[in-house]
Amino acid sequence: MFVPWSLTGDNHENMSWHDEYAGSHGFDEYDKTAGGIKRNMHNVNPYSNFVALQVTINYEEMSVQKTVKIVTTHVLYEMKLKGEKISMLTAYDYSMARILDEAGIDVILVGDSASNVMAGYDTTLPITLDNMIYHAASVVRGVKRALVVVDLPFGTYQGNSREALASAIRIMKETGASAVKLEGGREIVESIERIMSAGIPVMGHLGLTPQSIHKFGTYVVRARDEEEARKLKEDAKIIEKAGCFAIVLEKIPAALAGEVAESVRVPVIGIGAGRQVDGQVLVLHDMLGINMEFSPRFLRRYHNLYDEIKGAVNHYITDVRSGEFPSEKEQY
């Protein structure tokens, strides 16, 4: 794994590198190259195959020290152990991803919800693997420190573990992302294990799984009855054992989500799953108030960009039509 110099600055001579997990997590040495730092690993445990790298940069002429901590799967595991909540949001393009990364978000999910908020479809099913690769590559180019996870779209992993591996490899090779996310429990274990065998981290997703919307027939809260709740708890254990480094729980009772979070070692990130889990995820366009048509109980809108953008565009139209734009100062 390489960490580009561009993540840390240009003053190569005055850089000192520290890995707080070195030694105990399988690192032999660092090899400084023009392209970055090569990590040599041995006996890496399942939670440290992508280990946290803490970078310290000393600028002698400015007497400033800056620390950049790259978020990895192991960092998320450490956050759970320390009781630190994990923040995750979706992004689908370079510009938004760059803003989220600079704001300090822990995880960016390139979700198949792009099918809804970017392409205008009613469900997540129509989006293709090529579409997801396009969005994910755009996001990765805007990110320096956050963990980037990409949804495998519908039809690229269900029922065929070889196709699942091929899809995951394409995403990793063509986008530079850090991990993939799959929906489902015991029925996709073979796909999870085959992807993991190639060294690709997998995030799981249980509860309301939007790719199965036609099976459910509705977006109501899942696992309210005892049988479905029991199966969900079992599935969480199963996909953890299969190698998932984290699990998303969507739209299930808060108490059940808390039980699941307590029962597994890996981080559990909720969307409509209450506060007892290890982190939260929302769709960016919903959280910022760009998409105003979706208003579930679990959504908190932190802004109303729909009205702000509409107002700005109306103002622009008025200025153009009146001749107020461009002014004397806005021309050559």
Map out the domains of the chain as residue ranges: 2-70, 73-287
**Catalytic member of 250, 259, 308, 324:** 250
Evaluate if residue 14 carries a pLDDT over 90: no
Q: How confident is the model at residue 53 (pLDDT cuts 50, 70, 90)?
A: low
pLDDT digits (tens, 9 = 90+) for 31-40: 333 333 333 3
Q: Scanning the structure block, which residue is given the tokens 């020290």?
A: 65
Question: What per-residue confidence (pLDDT) applies to 67?
Answer: 61
Please, which pLDDT band fits residue 181 given cuts at 50, 70 and 90? very high
pLDDT at 109 > cutoff 80: yes
Share of the chain above pLDDT 90, in %: 77
* Spatial distance between the Cα atoms of 38 and 142, rounded to a whole number of angstroms: 22
What span, in angstroms and rounded, lies between the C-alpha atoms of 317 and 20? 54
State the CB neighbour count (10 A cutoff) for residue 24: 11
Tokens of 140: 């990765």
pLDDT (mean) for 301-309: 97
Q: What's the confidence (pLDDT) of residue 94?
A: 98
Instruction: Yes or no: say if 164 and 126 are a contact pair by the CB < 8 Å rule.
Output: no
Per-residue confidence (pLDDT) for residue 60, from 0 to 100 = 42
pLDDT of residue 297: 92
Run of H or E including 161: helix 161-175
Please answer whether residues 260 and 232 qualify as being in contact, where contact means their C-beta atoms are separated by less than 8 angstroms. Answer: yes
Res. 306: pLDDT tops 90: yes
Question: pTM for the full model?
Answer: 0.81
Mean of pLDDT values over 42-48: 41
Q: Report residue 123 as tokens.
A: 């469900």
Residue 136 has pLDDT above 50, yes or no: yes
pLDDT in tens, 229-270: 999 999 999 999 999 999 999 999 999 999 999 999 999 999
CA 94/CA 137 separation, integer angstroms: 8
CATH number of this structure's domain 73-287 = 3.20.20.60
Separation CA 295–CA 285 (nearest Å): 12
Q: How far apart are CA 272 and CA 300, in angstroms?
A: 10
Whether 250 sits among the annotated catalytic residues: the reply is yes
Q: Are 105 and 88 in contact (CB under 8 A)?
A: yes
Q: Are 103 and 143 in contact (CB under 8 A)?
A: no
pLDDT at residue 293, as a whole number:
87
Burial of 328 (0-12, 13-18, 19+ CB in 10 A): exposed
Read off the pLDDT of residues 189-218 as tens digits, 9 standing for 90 and up.
999 999 999 999 999 999 999 999 999 988
The tokens describing 5, both together, are 């110099």
pLDDT score, position 66: 53
pLDDT value of residue 82: 98
| φ and ψ of 11, to 5 deg | -85, 80
- How far is the first Cα of the chain from the last one, in angstroms, to the nearest whole number? 48
